[in-house]
């Protein structure tokens, strides 16, 4: 007799999923229309039919080891064509939210940042903390508090030193939590593929090839939004998302550049502040363009989601809206802070600036703990997918011979031969 697997459905998992936006999961009757109409599902990685069934049966660990849910961009095509109105797209969205919580460490932060009150509370708390820091810093600098005298310049209230003192530990936490989550996720999905390395751990490539062969092409694909743009029903969402992603990258470049020029060169060596930059400064122009892109991008996303939700193409959970509003808040407070500084309205500019810092810190925190974590898990899934493809074809090296893996994933029906031919194309 074939090996049987003990099944213990996790009712609380199903309930959690239903509460997180997957309330339609039980309507599925396994016709697989979804997997067929999905523009992103492939023969080798067919979804979302199997995920629907696993979810119905409360097979939490099975779903945790499933990289395919992250290849879904919630286009909504499956939901549009589903004959039972089971909305697979939304169920997969809910599965992803649950997975983020599953891999989050500590879980309390994930709980905090997954609801409106928690996020607003975090922003308010950060706002208060920043003011306390600013107050303490004013004792050191002798600048006026809460409104330093003279022309508005934000380094008067907080220089990079106190900011970094606060932000760097948070970044450390984010990096640590992200690393923990990604490695746990990788182990689960690699284990689910049915392979173990010689040491009994989940297979993973060495750092060099990891980046050159898998991370770089995956990131390129993400930057180009190649897959997201294949979406049918909610194709437009990809545009806003692309704009937003690029604005984040540009802002990252600006922040890094300014960090180097100001925090490393100007202040310590020249003993003067590089910021605020004049408006003609190319870095400033670049930054302002990015800021506009961020606001436009998030606005497009917001409009699109609102419209598609109203049309019933997709459902939107609390977390979807939280992330949108948080990014929006970061963008608006940032632009306002700049404008108020230029208008030299100290009474408003400083509080808005502090609020901006509070939203930024909250957004940072959200990276591993909220929907924002799709950034890291989807990227990981993209990377893993390339790696697994190579493993299946025996190209991954590291002792992974051609026939280490079974000829095909459970759902695929194509033979080895067909597959290698496809890969040549």
Partner 1 sequence: MSKKIGLYIYTGDGIGEAVDVDKLLELATSEMSVAVAKKHEDLYGPEGLAMIKADVESEELNAIAVLGLSFRYDFEGLKFPGVYVERVGIRELVAWSKKVKEDAEDPEKEKEHIQELAEDYVRMAVTRCQKAELPTPDKLEEASEAVLVIGGGISGLSAALEAADAGHKVLLVEKEPQLGGFAAKVRKQVPVGPSYDHLVDPVVNDLIEKVQNNPNIDVRTSTEVARTAGAPGQFRISLKEAGTKSEWDAPVPLTEEEKLDENGNELSAEEQKKKYDEKNEGRHDYMEVDPNAEIVGAIVLASGWKPYEPGEGEFEHLAWGNPNVVTNVQFEELAKAGKIKRPSDGKEVKSVAFVMSPGGKEDDADFPYAGAVTSLVALKQAKYVREDNPEDGKAFVFYQHMRTPGQYEYFYKGLQNDPGIFLTKGAVTKVEAAGDGLNVTVEDTILGEDINVDVDMVVLATGMVPTTKFEPVVNFAYRQGPAFRDLDLFGGYCDSNFICFPYETRRTGVYAAGGVRRTMTIEEAMEDATGAALKAIQSVVAAEEGHAVHPRTWDFDYPDFYFQRCTQCKRCTEECPFGALDDDEKGTPKPNPTRCRRCGTCMGACPERIIGFKDYNIDIVGSMIKAIEVPDDDDDKLRMICFACENDAYPALEMAAKNGHTWSPLVRIIPVRCLGSVNVSWIKDAMSSGLDGALLLGCRYGDDYQCHFVKGSELANRRMDNVAESLNSLGMEPERVKLREIAIDEYDKLPQIIDEFVEEVLGMGPNPFKGW
Binding site for partner 1 (CB under 8 A): 1-9, 11, 14-15, 18, 26-27, 29-30, 50, 53-54, 56-59, 84, 410-411
The nearer residue to partner 1, 9 or 347, going by C-beta atoms, is 9
Residue 90, classed as helix, strand or coil, is helix
Residue 150, classed as helix, strand or coil, is coil
Fill in the DSSP letter of residue 393. T
The nearer residue to partner 1, 25 or 396, going by C-beta atoms, is 25
Backbone phi, then psi, for 183, in 5-degree steps? -70, -40
Cα dihedral 152, 154, 159, 162, rounded to 10, equals: 130
At its nearest, how many Å lie between partner 1 and the CB of residue 56? 7
CB 97, CB 20: distance < 8 Å: yes
The three-point CA angle 248-250-252 to 5° equals 70
Distance of CA 11 to the CA centre of its chain: 28
The nearer residue to partner 1, 14 or 119, going by C-beta atoms, is 14
The nearer residue to partner 1, 10 or 263, going by C-beta atoms, is 10
At its nearest, how many Å lie between partner 1 and the CB of residue 188? 18
The nearer residue to partner 1, 234 or 315, going by C-beta atoms, is 315
Neighbours of 262 (CB within 10 A): 20
The nearer residue to partner 1, 86 or 245, going by C-beta atoms, is 86
At its nearest, how many Å lie between partner 1 and the CB of residue 36? 16
At its nearest, how many Å lie between partner 1 and the CB of residue 30? 6
Paired tokens of 333 = 């407070």
At its nearest, how many Å lie between partner 1 and the CB of residue 29? 7
Compute the distance between CA of residue 80 and CA of residue 94 in angstroms, rounded to an integer.
Answer: 17
At its nearest, how many Å lie between partner 1 and the CB of residue 11? 6
Compute the distance between CA of residue 266 and CA of residue 268 in angstroms, rounded to an integer.
Answer: 6
Considering only CA atoms, which of 206, 184, 210, 208 is closest in space to residue 197? 206
Compute the distance between CA of residue 80 and CA of residue 370 in angstroms, rounded to an integer.
Answer: 27
CB 363, CB 248: distance < 8 Å: no
The nearer residue to partner 1, 4 or 199, going by C-beta atoms, is 4
Compute the distance between CA of residue 298 and CA of residue 318 in angstroms, rounded to an integer.
Answer: 16
At its nearest, how many Å lie between partner 1 and the CB of residue 281? 58
Compute the distance between CA of residue 289 and CA of residue 291 in angstroms, rounded to an integer.
Answer: 5
The nearer residue to partner 1, 288 or 317, going by C-beta atoms, is 317
At its nearest, how many Å lie between partner 1 and the CB of residue 410? 5
């Amino acid at each position: 007799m074939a090996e049987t697997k003990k099944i213990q459905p996790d009712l609380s998992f199903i309930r959690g999923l239903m509460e997180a936006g997957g309330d339609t999961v039980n309507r599925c009757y396994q016709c697989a229309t979804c997997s067929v109409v999905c523009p992103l599902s492939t023969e080798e990685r067919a979804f979302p039919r199997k995920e629907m069934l696993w979810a119905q049966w409360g097979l939490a660990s099975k779903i945790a080891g499933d990289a395919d849910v992250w290849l879904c961009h919630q286009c909504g095509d499956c939901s549009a064509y589903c004959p039972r109105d089971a909305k697979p797209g939304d169920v997969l969205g809910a599965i992803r939210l649950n997975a983020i919580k599953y891999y989050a460490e500590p879980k309390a932060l994930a709980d905090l940042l997954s609801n409106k009150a928690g996020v607003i509370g975090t922003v308010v708390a950060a706002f208060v903390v920043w003011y306390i820091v600013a107050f303490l810093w004013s004792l050191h600098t002798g600048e006026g508090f809460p409104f330093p005298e003279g022309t508005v310049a934000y380094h008067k209230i907080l220089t990079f030193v106190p900011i970094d003192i606060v932000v760097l530990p948070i970044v450390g936490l984010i990096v640590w939590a992200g690393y923990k989550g990604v490695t746990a996720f990788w182990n689960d999905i690699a284990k689910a593929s049915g392979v173990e390395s010689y040491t009994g751990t989940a297979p993973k490539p060495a750092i060099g090839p990891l980046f050159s062969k898998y991370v770089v092409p995956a990131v390129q694909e993400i930057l180009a939004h190649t897959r997201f743009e294949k979406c049918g029903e909610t194709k437009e969402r990809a545009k806003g998302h692309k704009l937003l992603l690029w604005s984040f990258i540009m802002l990252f470049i600006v922040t890094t550049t300014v960090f180097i020029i100001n925090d490393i060169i100007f202040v310590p060596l020249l003993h003067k502040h590089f910021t605020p930059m004049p408006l003609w400064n190319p870095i400033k122009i670049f930054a302002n363009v990015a800021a506009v892109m961020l606001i436009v991008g998030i606005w497009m996303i917001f409009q699109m989601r609102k419209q598609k939700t109203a049309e019933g193409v997709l459902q939107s959970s609390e977390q979807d809206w939280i992330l949108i509003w948080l990014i929006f808040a970061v963008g608006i407070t940032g632009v306002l802070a700049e404008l108020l500084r230029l208008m030299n309205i100290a009474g408003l500019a400083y509080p808005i600036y502090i609020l901006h810092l509070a939203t930024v810190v909250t957004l940072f925190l959200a990276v591993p703990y909220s929907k924002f974590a799709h950034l890291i898990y989807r990227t990981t899934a993209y990377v893993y997918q390339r790696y697994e493809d190579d493993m299946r074809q025996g190209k991954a090296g590291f002792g992974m011979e051609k026939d280490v893996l079974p000829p095909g994933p459970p759902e695929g029906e194509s033979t080895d031969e067909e597959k290698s031919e496809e890969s040549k194309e």
